[in-house]
Amino acid sequence: MQAAPLLKDLVLVGGGHAHVHVLKSFAMKPMPGVRLTLIGRDIETPYSGMIPGFVAGHYSFDECHVDLARLAAWTGTRLIHAEATGIDRNNRQILLKNRPPVAYDFLSVDVGSSPSVEALPGAADHATPVKPIAELGRRWLAFLERVKDWQGSLRIAVIGGGAGGVELALAIDHRLRAIAHHAAVAVTLVTKGEILSGQAVAARRKIRAIFHQRGIRLIENVATTRLEDGAILLANGERVAVDEAFVVTEASAAKWFADTGLPLDPRGFFAVEPTLRSTGDERIFAVGDCASVAAHPRPKAGVFAVRQGPPLADNLRRALLGQPLQPFTPQSRYLSILGTGDGRAIATRSGWAIEGTWVWRWKDHIDRKWMRMYREPPAGPMDMAARNAPPDPALADAEAKRLLADIGMRCGGCGAKVGANVLTRVLGRLAPSPVSNVTIGLDAPDDAAMIDVPAGQALVQSVDFFRTFVDDPFAFGEVAAVHALGDVWAMGARPHSALALAVVPAAAERLMEEDLFQMLSGARRVLDRSGCALIGGHSGEGPEAALGFSVNGFIVAAKALRKGGLRPGDKLVLTKKLGTGVIFAAAMRGAARGRWIADALTSMRTPSDEAAAALLAAGAHACTDVTGFGLAGHLAEMIRATGRGDDVSVDLHLDALPALDGAVELFAQGLASSLQPENLRARHLIDGMDRMASHAKLPLLFDPQTAGGLLAAVPAEAAGKIEGVVIGEVRARTAERSFIHLV
């Protein structure tokens, strides 16, 4: 079934509580023609209600975090792992750190808040801020590793007496006493006012009693004036010695909010209407801690962010269709449940408060139920027929209406080319590549490019092309360029120039322009760094995005590295970890963790230029890049290409194979790339398959790689000079030996 043409871009910035609901809502009730994009600095977003329980040891990291990569896969959302730094409202773009901006038709922001550490001298250098909460999780785990064998006094200070500070102090006290068996744990909470200000007197009374009972020092109505290395200084002149300080003070807004030109509240947060739309821009919404509804002031608490999810999803749909928005009024009275870290909790509302283990079980049930909605895949598949139905005509502007009118008769002739106007604008935004020896390139486009080959050097050429496997077009462009350049680096050549072949799906013209620009921008980042000029190419329409390059490189022919050339005694060195095939096969099913995908993409986006230079300097005898045939297939090619094809064999150490995080675990679950069975045909060349059948890393031999590392044979004495892993040795071939012998 042909996908509905894209007409509008709805972009969500931040993976907050309200936004994860929007993702699921649009998946369960799709809007054909609308592309939903989530931009997140963190690939795993924490559920704030469970973080104190995580600190106390009741939840694992995964149990209290929503994996945005999995959620995006399940809901059909485009995920861009990047940090927002601003909004260009004139051009309707969200500005991102270290990459081009992303265009939007409608935008929603849910990026949370941070403690006001800058208002507290020394806090930035000598304290751990509790927000952004996503950073707290990783820093807390690292802190536990440091203190589990701590000897002597272990003094902790929590600065801030709101609900977050109280829960954190109690959770820290419980956890440290459980794991730091040789430490004398002493926790102090300092607040400039009363604890739990604004909550029931009964709740404050109960918390003070619990603090006293557990030996947690409470300093109320005293401000912290400064933090130093090993101490906090108070307004009353007291100096409190500490080994670690945590700041849970009043939230502050991100600095870039002030540069957007949008109306802000007195504290710098986005000012929004009861409809959750900005008071100054009808195309922008904001929710959660980063926004304030002037008509309905409420504390910045997770309970309100969660409740904003459904009205936000509804109003985003209305805005896309040009319909009137509906106001949302949050509850004025709300239940607050505070965990005490020890399996008990206090529930408070209005003027009453109750305590007990059953209250904690109640809270635990509520929190786990909420998490299950976003951590577990839906019971049945999403309604693809609804997703691919004709778009609502209300989504279409004049340009899009023309697209809808002729979508069934899109011409496939002339290479189904992308329109000239789109190409002109994209090339104008990219600008020509700075490189020598290009006689005709993008600075003065012609029917073909022309390059000068330097005297005494040979021209090396290779080509690669594949369809997208990630939704982020910029990241895909980077990977495609690294993958295409791999053959040039493997020969020891210097990349010089490239021609692109790009395919983008049919969409409104500005969306096609954006996709093509993002893909080529990602590619340009890699090409420019490698001294490789983009000098032309071809673009066309297709059912899905795809990108490839014909690349040129220069080398002195006598110095070129070849696949053959293995010598007995050589060490085999691999410069990247294996496992991209199984990780992205799992990602397509929503079965790969976000951090595994992020780590794999980091590896795939890393050029092999430095590795190639190191191999040349080390006197490598042979080299190839590990891509679609997998390690075993490419190693077999090297053995066949050496001498008569029966001169050498290889001892391969399975234990030494470097694996990307998650790859071995996914193989154990029975997952594999669709190309894995084809690569398994090389098993007859390998001795020890039966003996090693249960080895966890055996499937890595046949896992197809994208933008994989270099596999090289180097003199044994030079192996330690390479940034890579020694995975085997080359042996002289004997009659009884197979190509590859597993050890």
Q: Please identify every residue annotated as catalytic.
A: 414
Tell me the C-alpha to C-alpha distance, in Å, between residue 602 and each of 46, 287, 478, 598, 644. Answer: 22, 31, 10, 6, 39
Contact (CB, 8 A) for 45 and 66: yes
Question: What's the CA gap between 278 and 283, in Å, rounded?
Answer: 8
Question: What's the CA gap between 415 and 460, in Å, rounded?
Answer: 27
Cα 354 off chain centre by: 41
- Residue 661 CB contacts under 8 Å (≥ 6 apart), including other chains: 595, 596, 599
In 3D space, the residue among 256, 336, 345 whose CA is nearest the CA of residue 304 turns out to be 336
In 3D space, the residue among 42, 41, 44 whose CA is nearest the CA of residue 96 turns out to be 41
Cα 86 off chain centre by: 19
Query: Would you tell me the crossing angle of helices 509-529 and 420-430 to the nearest 10 degrees?
Result: 40
- Triad 80, 81, 86: Cα angle to 5°: 80
Question: What's the CA gap between 57 and 59, in Å, rounded?
Answer: 6
DSSP state of 199: S
In 3D space, the residue among 516, 652, 679, 480 whose CA is nearest the CA of residue 571 turns out to be 652
DSSP state of 141: H
Query: Cα Rg for the chain, rounded, in angstroms?
Result: 29
H/E element, 601: helix 594-604
SS3 category, 125: helix
DSSP state of 555: E
Strands 494-505 vs 244-247: parallel, antiparallel or unpaired: unpaired
The pair of three-digit structure tokens given for residue 97, joined into one six-digit string: 């750190």
**Phi–psi pair at 100, nearest 5 degrees:** -65, 155
* Beta bridge pairs of residue 615: none
- Residue 179 CB contacts under 8 Å (≥ 6 apart), including other chains: 57, 144, 147, 148
The DSSP line for 48-112 is: GGGHHHHHHTSS-TGGGEEEHHHHHHHHT-EEEE--EEEEETTTTEEEETTEEEEE-SEEEE---
DSSP state of 520: H
SS3 category, 164: helix
- Residue 627 CB contacts under 8 Å (≥ 6 apart), including other chains: 483, 486, 634, 704, 705, 706, 707, 708
The pair of three-digit structure tokens given for residue 385, joined into one six-digit string: 């027929």
SS3 category, 282: coil
Strands 128-129 vs 114-115: parallel, antiparallel or unpaired: unpaired
Question: What's the CA gap between 667 and 695, in Å, rounded?
Answer: 11
End-to-end CA distance of the chain: 49
